[in-house]
Amino acid sequence: MIITCPNCNKQFKIDNSLIPDEGRDLQCGSCNHIWFHNIQEKNNEALELKQEIISEDIETKAENKEDKIEEKQKPEEIIKTEINNKKKEKNSEKQKNKTTVEKTENKGSKLFSYLIVFIISFIGLIILLDTLKTPLINVFPGLEIILFNLFETLQDIKLFIIDLI
């Protein structure tokens, strides 16, 4: 139950079981006012209307209100659709800009990825040739001069890079 302090009008929610049928003293938590509170029985009789209400008036009033609401909503809907259209246009422009930026970034990143794959593959091939140099020369005798020149060239490139650094 909700009880209101008669002094400061502050409302408190109190469990019904805390107040006996004969009532009791209560103290306000805000202003410390003390008063006697008795539970009053509420009237359980149903309320009756003394005047008859014509349902036609209610229906016409309701229809008029619905018409007014619809009229108010129409300009709001138009404004909302215009705002949505503007947002869609901005989003499409942003997406176009993103796609052009992404395309240029993708080209650069793809080229860099291919370059890294090529370098790693080339290094792997050189290691494989160096490991299998003796069996390859036994099978292909003319390969010895080519491999020697390749390794000398790689040694020169290594020295050149070291000099640059």
Q: Please report, for the chain, the start and end positions of each structural domain, with discontinuous segments joined by +.
A: 2-37, 70-159
pLDDT the model gives residue 56: 56
The letter for the amino acid at 31 is C
d(CA 159, CA 165): 10
Question: Which DSSP letter does residue 34 get?
Answer: E
The pLDDT score that the predictor gives to residue 44 is 45
Helix 55-131 vs helix 143-164: crossing angle, to nearest 10: 120
What was the pLDDT predicted at 155? 92
pLDDT of residue 87: 75
The pLDDT of residue 38 is 83
Place of tokens 């080209």: 107
Quick one: which of 7, 38, 2 has its CA closest to 23? 38
Report the largest interatomic distance among the alpha carbons of the chain, rounded to a whole angstrom.
Answer: 122
Dihedral through CA 125, CA 128, CA 130, CA 133, nearest 10? -120
State how far the Cα of 120 lies from the Cα of 126, in Å rounded to an integer: 10
With a cut of 50, list the residues of the chain below it in pLDDT. 42-44
Residue carrying the six token digits 């390969």: 143
From residue 14, alpha-carbon distances to 20, 24, 27 in Å are: 12, 13, 12
Q: Quote the pLDDT of residue 115.
A: 92
pLDDT for position 153: 92
Q: What is the pLDDT of residue 76?
A: 65
Close Cβ partners of 3 (under 8 Å, ≥ 6 residues apart): 11, 12, 14, 26, 37
Report residue 107 CA to chain centroid gap. Answer: 30
**pLDDT the model gives residue 43:** 46
For position 160, what pLDDT does the model report? 94
